Amino acid sequence: PLAEIRLAKDGTNDSEALHLTHADRIVFPKLEISKGQVAEYYAAVASLLVPEIVGRPLSIVRCPDGASGTCFFQKHVGKGWGPNVHSIAVEEKSGTDENLSIHDERGLLDLVQMNVLEFHPWGAPGDDLAHADRIVFDLDPHASVKWTRMIAAARDVRAQLKSIGLESFVRTSGGKGLHVVVPLSPPAPWDAVKNFAHAVAQAMATLKPKEFVAVAGDKNRVGKIFVDWLRNGRGATSVASYSLRARDAAGVAMPLTWDELGRVKSGDAFTIKNAVGKIRRRKDDPWEELKVLKQALPEF
Ligand code: ATP
Ligand code: MN
Ligand code: MN
């Protein structure tokens, strides 16, 4: 079930509701989607999105002039933000960094009020930042790669992982590609996770050199899919499931079952316009099993 969060618009006197200013301002001009509609989207998916990000260090993408204006990544709390926007201490070589974090749905909506469009959490839980509980294989297609190859690529990565005993899950990125996600329980140290992700990316490129490349850089990627393993270092983030993307199409990062993947037509097939309908029609969370799986990082 999706959460019911009441949004009060400018000038109303509804003390129980979350207040949103400039609700009529257009955020996605191509689709004529307003800030109020963005807030309604996030209120509708809050019960699914918040568990993906709660307590974790968070990077956000803010777009004060809408998705077609200048957008920027930010990981620190701004002055005068809502009372439900918190921070978490992250130890860096240079000292302690207070990284943005939220505790609940109200924090999510306070960020929407600050013109946040995208949510990108760490792959580590807030109470154990030294250990990753998720590996993300971010499949990035060169512009010439047809979508059917992306579907096959995600299935290939899944099969490779399965051959070493790991279950994986797939989502659209809401942009151009797909993410294959491996939950780790118990979580594993970042160095080991990054080395493992790199090794899997290299294995894919060795097995199917016409399809995959494991080295970053546009030149290397021509005609191929970059298995971007670099999302898996300490401090790196990936977009959260159910986050919008600050791009013209207003895509949504949508978790899928492996069966559904074959019917999906692009990385931004799910958008602010159709994602909530899709979620409501579903009987089950496609990633239900992810939460209960006990799989450790293999020795390699
Ligand atoms: P697409 O499918 O279009 O590739 P994507 O989300 O996978 O969408 P990428 O460009 O492949 O996008 O990956 C970029 C990822 O790196 C983002 O999801 C984000 O989490 C992270 N990232 C990029 N720049 C920054 C930044 N300045 N600060 C924090 N995280 C960043
Ligand atoms: Mn990507
Ligand atoms: Mn990438």
| CATH at residue 71 | 3.90.920.10
Residues 147, 108, single domain; the answer is no
pLDDT in tens, 28-39: 999 999 999 999
Measured from the CB, is residue 221 less than 6 Å from ligand 1? no
Beta strands in 142-284 (DSSP E): 169-172, 178-189, 212-213, 225-228, 255-256
For the record, the structure tokens of 195 come out as 């080395």
Residues 281, 210, single domain; the answer is yes
Q: Which amino acid is at 100?
A: L
Task: Please check whether residue 298 is in contact with residue 207, taking contact to mean a CB–CB distance below 8 angstroms.
Answer: no
Query: Residue 218: which pLDDT band, with cuts at 50, 70 and 90?
Result: confident
Give the pLDDT of residue 1: 41
Residues 117, 97, single domain; the answer is yes
pTM tops 0.90, yes or no: yes
Q: Which amino acid is at 115?
A: N
Considering only CA atoms, which residue is closest to atom 28 of ligand 1? 73
**Domain range holding 134?**
129-300
pLDDT in tens, 179-193: 999 999 999 999 999
Whether the pLDDT of residue 103 is over 90: the answer is: yes
Measured from the CB, is residue 118 less than 6 Å from ligand 1? no
Measured from the CB, is residue 267 less than 6 Å from ligand 1? yes
Range name among 1-10, 59-68, 78-87, 228-237 with the lowest pLDDT average: 1-10
Interval between CA 28 and ligand 3 midpoint (Å): 23
Surrounding ion ligand 2 within 5 Å at CB are: 138, 140, 177
Q: Which amino acid is at 292?
A: V
Residues 66, 87, single domain; the answer is yes
Domain boundary among 121, 139, 174: 121
Measured from the CB, is residue 238 less than 6 Å from ligand 1? yes
Q: Can you count the helices (H) and strands (E) in the chain?
A: 7, 15
Residues 140, 91, single domain; the answer is no
Task: Please check whether residue 179 is in contact with residue 229, taking contact to mean a CB–CB distance below 8 angstroms.
Answer: no
3-state secondary structure of 86: strand
Measured from the CB, is residue 268 less than 6 Å from ligand 1? no
Mean pLDDT, residues 15-31 = 87
Residues 242, 107, single domain; the answer is no
Task: Please check whether residue 213 is in contact with residue 204, taking contact to mean a CB–CB distance below 8 angstroms.
Answer: no
Looking from the CA of residue 238, the nearest atom of ligand 1 is: 20
Cα gap 96→90, rounded to integer Å: 6
Q: Give me the number of domains the chain comprises.
A: 2
Cα gap 76→88, rounded to integer Å: 10
Measured from the CB, is residue 177 less than 6 Å from ligand 1? yes
Residues 270, 153, single domain; the answer is yes
